[in-house]
Amino acid sequence: MSDLESLRLEGLHERHPGLTEALGQSYTEAAFVCLSRHHQPPVTVSLKYTGNGQLRVVNFAIPDQRMRTAHANEIDATETGAYGVSLAAVEAVAGLVAVRRAETLTGADWYVAHDGTEIEDLAGPADVCGDSTLQTTKRSKSD
């Protein structure tokens, strides 16, 4: 058994108030499909935050045929799965949770903040990049 902390993909909606159960489950399923393309559970992932690296272990369910066919579009599954992994990662390393989906043309995907933060006081948007990295920026109230 690994001594590494887990990166929890399941139950995202329970910890991220900006997610519904259905959306969180879709992110989790897509992440499982993507991870299973090249790995068997558990898998160790490397997370980097403020220059410090951390290793986390991801236990994931091997997707059944129905889940694989539901996420058969590789581009969509990768994007959707990256949202799930990225939101779990920013929660694990920075203590931030998704509080709202970003509006079109903001250059971001999600607004993340400490749990309980009012939407008006958001820490900033989180952008899930094409290479599955996560970038956050601080916005002032004048932005």
- pLDDT one-digit tens code per residue, 36-55: 999 999 999 999 988 888 99
Task: Give which of 77, 91, 87, 68 is closest to 127, Cα–Cα.
Answer: 87
Is residue 78's pLDDT more than 90? yes
- What pTM, to 2 d.p., does this model score? 0.81
- Separation between Cα atoms, residue 9 and residue 28, nearest integer Å: 6
Percent of the chain with pLDDT strictly greater than 70: 81
- Separation between Cα atoms, residue 135 and residue 41, nearest integer Å: 27
8 A C-beta contact, residue 94 and residue 14: no
In this predicted model, which residue has the larger pLDDT, 118 or 82? Answer: 82
